[in-house]
Amino acid sequence: MTWFSYWTEDRGFGIVADFGRSRLRIVCKEADCRAELFNGRVRLVEDKPHRWAYHYGRAVLRHVHEHKTTLSELVNRALARLRKLDEYFVSKGYKPLVLFSGGKDSLVVLDLCYRYFGSDLYVAYIHIPGNTHEECDYYVLCTVERYLGSLRRFYYLYRTEPIRLGGLGIELSPDEFDKLLVYTSLAIHPRDIRARKCMVYYKVEVMRQVPRHFVFVSGARASDGLWRTLYMQQMHDGMFKSPVHKHWTLELICDWSKEAVLEYIKLNNLKPNPLYEKINHSGNCMICPAYFSSVEKILLYMNKLERYYPHWYRKVLDFMRQYMQYHRERVKCNLPCSKCPYLRDKNRYVYAKRIGIVLELLDNSIVKYLQKS
């Protein structure tokens, strides 16, 4: 059992996490208000008037915002981490391997490592068969070649072994990513929303095959969310040995904010992935549970795909229909999601309700368009 506590005395918030049980408790000392996050579900244990303690993540994020530093200090701190990495690992035979996904965070990490190591570093990119945009692959290849001068130190990684779902008795090929998300559906168990099986199958298991003499340099940031904040507080200045893929890993910009990353890219005239201007992300994963956080975000994402990449629009739409068909077979329900009795229940069938409502809206818009024409 691993316990970790984090306090912001000026706000009166306390956060205690038990990672062994996936349990998180939030205590507001001033208002005597306590909320509890158990397996992804928030429960207000003591309902006092100050219900703003219910928004548990703002405690940490607000503390980070109030204690933010300048960009020059963040850069100096990152270079100091690379200096420690060079002293304690590279000098002992380890080789730095930058995990470059094509996103803005990993672009900053690659530029910082190039400023310190020059071209004497390695770069790894994980391609997701059947789910990575072709323009993201091209951008990564061009960027790595521009930094390193060649692709001899570049590792293009992807899964080649079939995926076996023992509980369902199904074997999938690596390029059947959409079917994997359908079968490992979160519609039945919404509390396991943080456990992304796709990341385990396509990234973690691939990284385990990388030789142990490589030390990973990654670009995950604590400000991305509460769970990353709590997770990274256990590191020693961004350095830790991952219990998942068994490699030493340095989170180089763990204390950076999103604004600092954008400012660094602008000041150093870096060229971000052009997919950000079209679909607002790098395109490394076109179908991702993170994009389905609300009906509005799904509709906005689908509109952008329909405008710029119709083939991906059809692919995502086909995935959502397979998803709903599998969900209806499991729960044995034929009602429209907009009339579902569980619509007001925020803890049951979260993704299924969102995707179902989006499909209803898209189908109705098509019917209305045909009637007008």
DSSP string, 72-84: HHHHHHHHHHHHH
Q: Helix H segments across 67-187?
A: 71-88, 104-117, 134-148, 177-183
| Each residue's pLDDT tens digit, 323-338 | 888 888 887 777 777 7
Q: Residues of the chain whose pLDDT is less than 50?
A: 1-64, 187-194, 366-373
The reported pLDDT for the residue numbered 365 is 59
User: How high is the pLDDT of residue 346?
Assistant: 63
User: In angstroms, rounded to a whole number, what is the distance separating the alpha carbons of residues 227 and 194?
Assistant: 9
Are the CB atoms for 198 and 177 separated by under 8 Å? Answer: yes
Q: Phi-psi category of 157—alpha, beta or left, where left has phi over 0 and alpha has psi -120 to 50?
A: beta
What are residue 3's DSSP bridge partners? 18
**Is the separation of the CB atoms in 283 and 293 below 8 Å?**
no
Q: Name the residue among 263, 260, 258 with its Cα closest to residue 228.
A: 258
Contact 232, 238 (CB under 8 A): yes
Measured at the CA of 253, the angle between CA 80 and CA 86, to 5 degrees, comes to 35
The confidence score (pLDDT) of residue 232 equals 60
Q: How many Cβ atoms are within 10 Å of 5's Cβ, its own excluded?
A: 12
Percent helix, strand and coil across the chain, each to the nearest 5: 45, 15, 35
CA angle 218, 222, 225 (to 5 degrees): 120
Amino acid at residue number 3: W
